[in-house]
Structure 1
C-alpha cells in the first residue's frame, strides 16, 4: 500500500526501538527504499522486491525492482526501473506483472526487461496481485472496492463490491481468491471507521464471502495462504496474523508499523517487507 498520509501517521512509531528478532526469523535483508512487496520466484529460486521510493500515489518515475537470493543475499539492487510506485506482483507465463498506481507493468522474467504497460481505465490505487492455477492474473484496486482480472493484455473488472471494503492483499488459493481488507471509512491518516478482515471470492461464481471469525479486527495489508492457514499483515501496527477457518486470527509476530505485502515459498517461509524500515524479513513457520 501506501498513501503518504500513512507514512506521516507512523513516523512517531518509527522512532521507537526496533523489535527484537522474531521467533523463526532466518534472515533480514536491509537497504531497500520503501519495499512494498516481496514475491518468491520459484523457477529461479529468488525473491523479487518492489521499491516505491517516494509518494506511493505519485507517477514520479522513481520506483524499481530488486532481486534477493532465497537466503537473503542481494543479487541486484536495481534490477528493473522505469516504474513509478510499484507495489504487489504476480508471475504468469514467464512474465512478472507489477501493480503501479493505475497501470500494470509487465516484465520478462528471463531478461529483466520491462516489455509493456497495461493501463487500467478508472483505476484509482492498484495494490496487490496474484495469479491462479490457470495463469489468470488479478489485481486489487484498494480505493475503488474492485478486483480486476488481466486477460492477455486487457484488464477486465472481475468483482466490484462494497463488501470488499478497501481490498488490499490478494492471494489465489484453490478455487478462490483470499482477500485482505483494509476496512471502511478510510480517514486522512488511513485509519478506518471500521477495520478490515479476511474475505474469499469464488473464482467461478464471483461471490464475496467474509471468512467467519475474521472480520473487523485490523486494517489488513498483505495476505498469503499455506495449507489450511492464512497469514495477513496489519500495516498500521506491524502485526502478522495467522487464521485457520473456524477459528479467530492469532497474532504470531510483531514488527514496527509498515509490514506490507508478504510473500511465501508456499511451504514454510514467509517474506515480510518492512516498508518504513527498508527491510525484508524471512520467517520460518512452525
Structure 2
C-alpha cells in the first residue's frame, strides 16, 4: 500500500512541478544529513489511536465542541478530484466519523475561527460551518500550485501557504490573493501566527519528484502588519543554521519560546528553540504530517499520511 501511494505522489508531484520522473527506491523516506545528529531521539508514548482515515494530512482540535477534525486527501494530493473529505474524532479517540464532510478535493491545512473551519484545498480555500457541517464559502486561487498550511491571527487575518508555488496567500475582502511570493520561502508548509510574525515551516528548496529537496528546510518568519495588504518591504527571515537535514511539515508554538514541528520524511517531531535550532527529537513514523498540539493536556495529535491513522501522544517534557 505504501509503495502504491509513493508512486501516486511521485506522478502527481512530477506533473505539478514539471519535473522529470525520479525512480522511487525503498529508501525514499530515509533520512538525509548534512551533519551528524548529536541529539538523542526519544520515543513518545501513544495515548489513543484511530485508524481508517484516507491519507490524513492535517488535524485540528475544536475546544468548544471537544472534537477533532481530520483532512482526508484520499488519493492524489495535488488533484482537484472532488473525492477528499473532512473526518471527525470524538471522545478522545473513542468515536469517529471518517467522512464527516464531503465535497472537497485534496484537503490539507485546517484552522478554526469562531464557528468556521477553514480548509486549504489545492487551488481554493474552503470554509465549513461547524454548526451544520455545510460548506458555506469557496475562495479560489487558480494560480496556486498546492495550497497547504493555514494560520489565522487574533485579528482575523487568514494566511495560506502555497507549498509548491513558494507563495503565501491572504484572504482579503472576500478574495484569496497572493500576499507574498519569494524563493526564500523554500516550499512553505505549516504556518503559525505568533504576535507580529507569521512563522513558516519550510520543506526545503527545489523539491524533487520523490519529495526530497536540494536544500534542508528550516523555520522562517515574516513580519505582518495588522492593517496592511501586500507586504511590499517584508523580509523573509530564516531561523536556525540547518545543522541537520529536515523537511518540515506541521508547526505549533510550544512553551514560552519554543516550537514543535514535524519532519515528514524522517518521521520525527522536533522541539526547536526560538533560534530554530533542534533541542529534542521525538521518534514518530514516516509520513507524520500537520499535527496539532493541545497545550491543556500536553498532547500531540499526529495524522499519519502513509498509514491512514491519527495517533495522540503524551509529550514528556
TM-score by length of 1: 0.89
C-alpha distance in 1 between matches for 2:294 and 2:166 = 28
Structure 2's unaligned 5+ residue stretches are 1-5, 13-22, 30-41, 226-230
3-state DSSP of counterpart to 1:196: coil
Alignment of 1:5 onto 2:36: no
Specify whether residues 142 and 246 from structure 1 end up closer, same or farther in structure 2 by C-alpha distance, changes over 3 A only: closer
Instruction: Please name the residue that 1:17 is paired with.
Output: none
3-state DSSP of counterpart to 2:215: strand
Structure 1's unaligned 5+ residue stretches are 15-20
Specify whether residues 213 and 283 from structure 1 end up closer, same or farther in structure 2 by C-alpha distance, changes over 3 A only: farther
Aligned residues: 279
Instruction: Please name the residue that 2:38 is paired with.
Output: none
Superposed, which structure 2 residues align to 1:238-277 within 5 Å? 238-246=267-275, 248-267=277-296, 268-277=298-307
Instruction: Please name the residue that 2:34 is paired with.
Output: none
Instruction: Please name the residue that 1:52 is paired with.
Output: 73
1:92–1:137 contact (8 Å) kept in structure 2: no
Deviation, structure 1 residue 119: 0.5
Instruction: Please name the residue that 1:145 is paired with.
Output: 166
Which structure has the larger Rg?
Answer: 2
C-alpha distance in 1 between matches for 2:93 and 2:243 = 34
Deviation, structure 1 residue 175: 1.8
Among 204, 218, 235, the alignment partner of 1:197 is: 218
Superposed, which structure 2 residues align to 1:181-220 within 5 Å? 181-204=202-225, 206-213=234-241, 217-220=245-248
Higher strand share: 1
Mean Cα displacement is larger for which, 125-134 or 216-225?
216-225
Superposed, which structure 2 residues align to 1:31-180 within 5 Å? 31-69=52-90, 71-180=92-201
RMSD across aligned C-alpha pairs, in angstroms?
A: 2.4
Specify whether residues 253 and 92 from structure 1 end up closer, same or farther in structure 2 by C-alpha distance, changes over 3 A only: same
Deviation, structure 1 residue 215: 6.7
- Displaced runs of 4 or more, over 3 A: 6-14, 212-216
C-alpha distance in 1 between matches for 2:11 and 2:155 = 35
3-state DSSP of counterpart to 2:214: strand
C-alpha distance in 2 between matches for 1:250 and 1:110 = 40
1:270–1:283 contact (8 Å) kept in structure 2: yes
2:124–2:139 contact (8 Å) kept in structure 1: yes
C-alpha distance in 1 between matches for 2:275 and 2:223 = 18
